[in-house]
Each structure stands twice: as C-alpha cells, then as structure tokens.
C-alpha cells in the first residue's frame, strides 16, 4: 500500500479536491494497488483548530509579539472586530472555530459577506508554517499530525510537489517519515515539470526522497511500485523517473505526454468533501491535455504537457460528469484546462442536453474569439450549465496583445464580452500590467477599455508581469527589450529576475501614471493591482448575479459605514465621482480594506431588504435557482422591483424568461 501525502496549499484556500491526486488514485485502482491519502490544507487546518493540543495560538502570539510586525497585527485586529483575538487561547479557539464553521459548513450565504474568513484562516496558516520550520521545538504538533496518520502497513509514501514553497515541506517530512517507517519515498507533481538538473539533484540530496517522477505520473508510478516489489536493480526503463546512484543524478527517458483519452477515472472518495471551503461542494475536471492555442509569449504552462495537445472524446467526458454527479451528489464543476474552444463546449452541451442533464454549473477558461459572438451557441451552452468563463483579456492595446502573441483583437474582445454578458454568462478577465514594451499610451488604452466595458466584466483579476523560465520571452529577452539578471536562483522553476529596457517606465513612474490616469481606481501594491469602479473582486471566481442587479441601489448608498462595508467584503460595488474615487482603497495584503478619511460623503446603512437580496446569491446558481430556493418572502417580486428601479432591461428580460 502507498500513502499519498498532499502538500499544504500555501497560495490560497482549498475549494476543490486536487484533481492530480484523484487521477493518481484512480490509476492505482486500475492496477489493484491499495492507497491511502493524507490531505493537505483542509485536514491540517481542521486539526489545528479543533485539536486541544494544537500550538496554533502559541506560535501566532510569539510571531505577533515582535514590534516590527505591528502593521500585520493591526490588520489582524481590523479583520476581527477588536484586539481581543490573540488575548487568550480560549477566545482564540472559539473565534477560529466560528470562522471555520461558517466557511466550510455555512447554513446560508452570509459567510460570503463576513470578511473573507477562509482567506484569513489561510493567512494565519502561512504564518504558522513559516514559523514552525524556523523553530524545531514547535514542530511536535506537525510531526504527530503526519506520523500518526501513516499506517504501519504502508509500503511506500508519495508526496506532492506543486509549488516551490513545497520544498521545505518535502525535505523535513521525508526525513521524519524515513526515520520512523524506513520506506521508499517518492515525489511528484506539477512543479517537477519546471525543475532542472540542479533542483532535482538538490532535492534528492537534501531530503530523504528516493525517486522523483516528472510530468504525468500515473503510468510511471504504477511501474515503479511493481519494480519496488520485484527488488531488481536500477529502474532504468521507467519513463520520467529521476533518482541518485552513487551520488550521481540519473534521469530516465522522458516519455511523450499521454493522450487524455488514456487516463484513468479520477477517484475523489478518499477526500473529505465536507471540509472544503464554500457553500457548494465542487469537483475539478480536465477536458484536454495542453493548450489549444499554446502560443502566448509569457506563458510556460504548455511545458507541463511537452507542447502536445489532446482532447477527451465528448461522450467519455459527459459519462465522467454524469458518474461524478451521481456518485458524489455534486452539481458544480471547475474545468482546469488552459483553454477550451467554444466548439468543444458546444458539443459537450448538446450531449448533456440530449441526456437531459441540465442541473449543472460549469466554470471554464476560454479565449476571446469571434465565434463567441454567435448567440445561438451561447444559448446552448448556457442551457447546459456553462455560465462562468475566465478570459485571458490581458490588455486593451492591440500592440501589447500582438507582443503577447494572444491572437486576439481589441474590437472583437469588446464585442465578445458584450455578447456573452447579454446572454447571461459571467465574464472574469485576467489583465497583465507593465508588460515589456508597454508605454503610457498602451496603459491608457487598457484603462479606457476597462472603463468602456466595465458593465460587461463581472470580475477583474489584474496582476503585474512575471517572467517565467520556460516562456518565449525568457528565450528571446532582446526581442522584448528586457535584460535577465544573472543572479543565481535556488530553483530553476523560480521566476526570473529581470530589468526593463530604457524605454520602459520604472516601477514608481508606472505606478504614478496608473494612479493618476485611472483617477485612483487602479492601485499598484508590489506586483499586484486592485481595481475599483463597479467591478467586483475578491476570492470568489464568479460574479454574483443578484449583486449586479443590486448595483444601482448600492451605488446610491454612496458610502456605507465601516462595519457594513466590512460585512459586504469582498463583494463591493462602488460608483462615485472621480474626486471621490479613492474612498475605498484595496490592498493585496490579504483583502485589507481601508478608508480615505478625507472623504466628506455621509455614512448610510444598507437596508435589511437589500441585505437579504445580497445573501440570496452564491455566485454559481442561476437566477432561477436563486429565486426558487429563496427563503425570504416575495423574493421574485423584490428582485423584479430592484431591476425595474435600476432600469436594467437586459436583466429584466432574462428574469422573465427564467421565472
């Protein structure tokens, strides 16, 4: 039996089980190999909060006792209604349990409006993990959590490696497991695709890891486990395998990326579904290996699939959806694909409709292409449940889009957003600021694009440019006017450090321009940007449909008082005159909101009726779902009246069709 240990997600909150691990478990099932799973973030957080022997409180108190961390402590107070949060362990445990319960097991949607508890818990988790690895005496709880969960019947242990921060986790965990159980330890995961010889050697040398499997591990892992049972000499014929022999790095042949139709059925049965954050339980899916476009100059994801591309046969995909729906009672699915073309989404939708499966909700990534202007196709995919789309918008400047090699057109991008919005689809747009070659003129074009199209964009996810090692830009820095630093990197998969050319604005000048020209609506913080102006942002990946309908009402409130604005965080719609545009300032320090005290606008309270309407929406269900399941009286009439007041004729027509 192999015990699989999922590394703790340090980058964000876990809303869905890990698809890669579910695929591994499914592949092992086909070979009749028994497996066990120790989940990462979800189970560790739960144990930290509910175990009476947890040292969570003690580690955090020691951390925040440092006067240099006063700002962080003030932020902690800001999110938790006073400074009593770390005053004593009993109150700390009680408050943390309330946060956890409202996030993982919410009775209603109120948890969405209570200060991002899930993100806050993850913030504390990151502080805790950083601190315990610095002090050996604080690792006792961590040790017991993992060692007590590994069965004495375990023959091997596999540890996932998905981000560079996992390295310290793997090094330490492999040592304590090896000392107690003396079993082979294997490492695999998405980050292995970006590891060069130096990183591979260092991990094998520093840790007690015996083998690393690069890229897709389903078949190599099965072969490796059979080889371990045979006690033969070196496993030189197993593809994608890396190990040390006499202190020398041995890398077996890297095989081709398998066709996705050859994969095994994912098995989520070993995940504790009830412990994932969010009101609705969701499952991840994958329709394709690779990217249908695969040409963006800044992207490195295609290297995971060795630049190959394959799509799942339509009926096989729908069979999988149907099985998971029936087996786990799940109606919400997230497609992890880089991008799925509309033609495939349409074919899947027609098959779902043909099987009378129309109670699902899908979120997927796609490309702003002109075929999305076909409203008949949009009605089909909407009917099948494909209602949430993530777009790689990236820029409002055609010159920058061409440098990025996006293959998209600014005019078409605008038309697609407008058409999809009109047909009830929720648009989430990624935007990259400060891309190499971007001038003030390009920046202004992006700002204008966002302003012109903001009513069609449900969520904006802006960020600063990062240079990935396997990207086309990294291979041709001169073409993009950048100079890559020669400083040594700890890991070949780490981001590259670079300098812009002389024609590019320095960071401060760029930030000043961004602030001034956007009237303070776009605010740079380190390498992250916050955007306000009737656009929603936050940890939720979709627009809340009823919040859109409430936009006019909320904007008329102008300025809610501190407690109410915090209750609504992160779902804030704000409309103001340019001179008042900085009333709310977004900081990327874990969803911190602060206020411009110079504002002269009066404070007003949101009515209970509006609050009830806000709480009706979960961001995934259709308007019909929301109204049918509403607990408040006359929900339909309230929503209709709200839309009439906002004079939103498109939404009014949509509601009439749905209800």
pLDDT digits (tens, 9 = 90+) for 18-42: 999 999 999 999 999 999 999 988 8
Q: Which residue has the higher pLDDT, 154 or 95?
A: 154
Residue % of the chain over a pLDDT of 70: 69
Averaged pLDDT for residues 373-381: 96
Is residue 102 within 8 A of residue 114, CB to CB? The reply is: yes
| 617: helix, strand or coil | coil
Q: How far apart are CA 498 and CA 500, in angstroms?
A: 7
Residue 88 counted as domain residue: yes
203: nearest Cα among 176, 258, 243, 162? 243
Residue 214 counted as domain residue: yes
pLDDT greater than 70 at residue 493: no
> Which residues are within 8 A (CB) of 446 and not within 5 positions of it... i.e. 6 or more apart?
395, 396, 397, 400, 431, 433
298: nearest Cα among 447, 529, 469? 469
277: nearest Cα among 569, 6, 14? 14
Residue 526 counted as domain residue: no
DSSP character at residue 506: P
422 and 357 in a common domain: yes
Choosing from 444, 466, 488, the residue where a domain stops is 488
Q: Which residue has the higher pLDDT, 522 or 184?
A: 184
354 and 212 in a common domain: no
Q: How far apart are CA 594 and CA 583, in angstroms?
A: 8
According to DSSP, the residues that pair with 250 across neighbouring strands are 243
Backbone angles phi, psi at 573, to 5 degrees: -110, 135
Q: Give the global pTM.
A: 0.78
Least confident of 158-167, 392-401, 508-517: 508-517
State the pLDDT confidence band at 623, using cuts at 50, 70 and 90. very low
> Which residues are within 8 A (CB) of 625 and not within 5 positions of it... i.e. 6 or more apart?
none
pLDDT greater than 90 at residue 3: yes
Beta strands 282-285; 288-289: pairing state:
unpaired
What CATH number corresponds to the domain at position 359? 3.20.20.70
CA angle 73, 603, 74 (to 5 degrees): 5
pLDDT greater than 60 at residue 101: yes
DSSP 162-225: -STTHHHHHHHHHHHHHHHH---EEEESGGGGG--HHHHHHHHHHS---EEE-S--HHHHHHHH
- For 598-617, the pLDDT digits (tens) are 222 233 333 444 444 444 43
Q: How far apart are CA 600 and CA 576, in angstroms?
A: 12
Averaged pLDDT for residues 631-636: 48
Which two three-digit tokens encode residue 373? 């202007």
Q: How many CB atoms lie within 10 A of CB 353?
A: 15
483 and 343 in a common domain: yes
Beta strands 361-366; 332-335: pairing state:
parallel
State the pLDDT confidence band at 291, using cuts at 50, 70 and 90. very high
Query: What's the pLDDT score for residue 616?
Result: 41
Query: What's the pLDDT score for residue 302?
Result: 77
Q: How far apart are CA 185 and CA 522, in angstroms?
A: 47
Half-sphere exposure in the Cβ direction for 210 (13 Å, CA)? 16
240: nearest Cα among 205, 202, 189? 189
Averaged pLDDT for residues 142-165: 93
Query: What's the pLDDT score for residue 112?
Result: 44
Residue 346 counted as domain residue: yes
480 and 565 in a common domain: no
Averaged pLDDT for residues 533-549: 30
Q: How far apart are CA 54 and CA 141, in angstroms?
A: 6
State the pLDDT confidence band at 516, using cuts at 50, 70 and 90. low
| CA quadruple 315, 321, 324, 329: dihedral, nearest 10 | -140
pLDDT greater than 70 at residue 533: no
- For 111-126, the pLDDT digits (tens) are 444 445 666 787 788 8
Q: How far apart are CA 579 and CA 558, in angstroms?
A: 13
Q: How many CB atoms lie within 10 A of CB 632?
A: 12
Is residue 324 within 8 A of residue 330, CB to CB? The reply is: yes
186 and 104 in a common domain: yes
Q: Total domain count for the chain?
A: 3
Choosing from 441, 458, 488, the residue where a domain stops is 488
pLDDT greater than 70 at residue 185: yes
Is residue 228 within 8 A of residue 184, CB to CB? The reply is: yes
150 and 21 in a common domain: yes
258: nearest Cα among 316, 306, 223? 306
169 and 87 in a common domain: yes
Residue 201 counted as domain residue: yes
DSSP character at residue 273: G
53 and 170 in a common domain: yes
Residue 551 counted as domain residue: yes
Beta strands 386-394; 426-433: pairing state:
parallel
For the chain, what is the mean pLDDT?
76
Domain that holds residue 340: 292-488
State the pLDDT confidence band at 648, using cuts at 50, 70 and 90. very low
Residue 363 counted as domain residue: yes
Averaged pLDDT for residues 234-248: 91
300 and 199 in a common domain: no
Query: What's the pLDDT score for residue 173?
Result: 95
Query: What's the pLDDT score for residue 592?
Result: 23
Q: Which residue has the higher pLDDT, 78 or 160?
A: 160
DSSP 87-129: T-HHHHHHHHHHHHHHHHS-SSGGGGGSS-HHHHHHHHHHHHH
Q: Which residue has the higher pLDDT, 629 or 339?
A: 339
Torsion over CA: 511, 514, 520, 526 (sign): negative
State the pLDDT confidence band at 489, using cuts at 50, 70 and 90. low
The three state secondary structure string of 441-501 is HHHHHHHHHHHHHHHHCCEEEEEECCECCCCHHHHCHHHHCEEECCCCCCCCCCCECEEEC
Choosing from 488, 509, 532, the residue where a domain stops is 488
DSSP character at residue 299: -
152 and 246 in a common domain: yes
Which two three-digit tokens encode residue 130? 């950083």
State the pLDDT confidence band at 492, using cuts at 50, 70 and 90. low
CA distances from 13 to 26, 328, 442, 498, 557 (A): 24, 21, 34, 30, 32
Q: How many CB atoms lie within 10 A of CB 645?
A: 13
Query: What's the pLDDT score for residue 384?
Result: 95
246 and 160 in a common domain: yes
Averaged pLDDT for residues 203-215: 95
Residue 337 counted as domain residue: yes
310 and 203 in a common domain: no
């Amino acid at each position: 039996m192999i015990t699989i240990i999922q590394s703790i997600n340090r980058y964000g909150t876990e809303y869905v089980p890990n698809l890669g691990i579910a695929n591994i478990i499914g592949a092992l099932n086909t070979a009749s190999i028994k497996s066990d799973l120790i989940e990462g973030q979800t189970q560790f957080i739960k144990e930290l909060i509910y175990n009476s022997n947890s040292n969570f409180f003690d580690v955090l108190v020691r951390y925040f006792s440092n006067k240099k961390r006063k700002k962080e402590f003030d932020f902690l107070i800001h999110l938790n209604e006073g400074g009593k949060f770390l005053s004593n362990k009993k109150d700390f445990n009680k408050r943390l349990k309330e946060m956890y319960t409202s996030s993982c097991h919410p009775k209603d949607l109120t948890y969405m409006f209570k200060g991002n508890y899930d993100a806050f818990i993850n913030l504390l988790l990151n502080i805790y993990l950083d601190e315990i690895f610095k002090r050996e005496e604080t690792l006792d709880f961590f040790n017991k959590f993992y060692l007590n969960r590994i069965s004495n019947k375990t023959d091997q242990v596999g540890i996932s490696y998905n981000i560079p921060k996992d390295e310290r986790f793997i090094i330490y965990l492999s040592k304590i497991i090896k000392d107690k159980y003396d079993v082979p330890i294997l490492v695999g995961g998405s980050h292995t695709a970006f590891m060069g010889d130096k990183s591979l050697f260092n991990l094998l040398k520093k840790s007690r890891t015996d083998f690393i499997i690069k890229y897709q591990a389903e078949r190599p892992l099965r072969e490796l486990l059979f080889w371990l049972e045979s006690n033969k000499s070196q496993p030189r014929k197993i593809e994608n395998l890396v190990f040390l022999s006499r202190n020398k790095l041995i890398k077996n042949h890297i095989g081709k990326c398998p066709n996705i139709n050859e994969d095994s059925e994912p098995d989520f049965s070993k995940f504790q579904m009830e412990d994932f954050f969010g009101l609705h339980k969701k499952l991840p899916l994958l329709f394709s290996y690779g990217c249908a476009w695969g040409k963006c100059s800044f992207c490195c994801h295609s290297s995971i699939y060795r630049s190959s591309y394959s799509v799942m046969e339509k009926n096989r995909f729908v069979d999988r959806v149907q099985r998971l729906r029936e087996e786990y009672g799940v109606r919400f699915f997230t497609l992890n694909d880089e991008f799925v073309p509309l033609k495939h989404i349409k074919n899947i939708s027609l098959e779902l409709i043909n099987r009378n499966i129309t109670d699902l909700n899908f979120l997927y990534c796609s490309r702003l292409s002109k075929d999305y202007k076909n409203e008949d196709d949009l009605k089909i995919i909407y009917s099948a449940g494909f209602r949430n789309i993530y777009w790689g918008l990236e820029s409002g400047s055609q010159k920058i889009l061409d440098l990025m090699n996006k293959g998209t057109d600014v005019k078409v991008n605008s038309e697609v957003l407008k058409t999809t919005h009109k047909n009830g689809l929720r648009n989430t747009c990624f935007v990259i600021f400060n891309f190499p070659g971007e001038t003030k003129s390009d920046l202004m074009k992006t700002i204008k694009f966002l302003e012109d199209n903001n009513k069609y964009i449900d969520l904006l996810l802006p960020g600063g440019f990062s240079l990935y090692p396997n990207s086309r830009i990294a291979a041709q820095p001169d073409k993009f006017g950048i100079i890559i630093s020669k400083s040594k990197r700890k890991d070949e998969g780490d981001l590259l450090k670079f300098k812009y050319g002389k024609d590019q604005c320095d960071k401060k000048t760029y930030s000043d321009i961004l602030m001034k020209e956007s009237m303070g609506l776009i605010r740079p913080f380190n390498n992250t940007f916050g955007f306000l102006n009737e656009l929603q942002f936050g940890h939720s990946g979709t627009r809340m449909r009823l919040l859109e309908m409430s936009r006019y009402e909320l904007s008329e409130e102008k300025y809610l008082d501190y407690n109410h604005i915090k209750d609504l965080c992160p779902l804030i719609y704000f409309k103001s005159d340019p001179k008042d545009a900085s009333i709310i300032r977004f900081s990327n320090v874990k969803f911190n909101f602060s206020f411009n005290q110079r504002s002269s606008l009066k404070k007003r309270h949101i009515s209970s009726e509006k609050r009830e309407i806000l709480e009706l929406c979960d961001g995934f269900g259709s308007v019909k779902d929301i109204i049918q399941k509403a607990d408040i009286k006359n929900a339909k009439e309230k929503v209709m009246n709200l839309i009439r007041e906002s004079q939103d004729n498109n939404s009014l027509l949509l509601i009439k069709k749905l209800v």
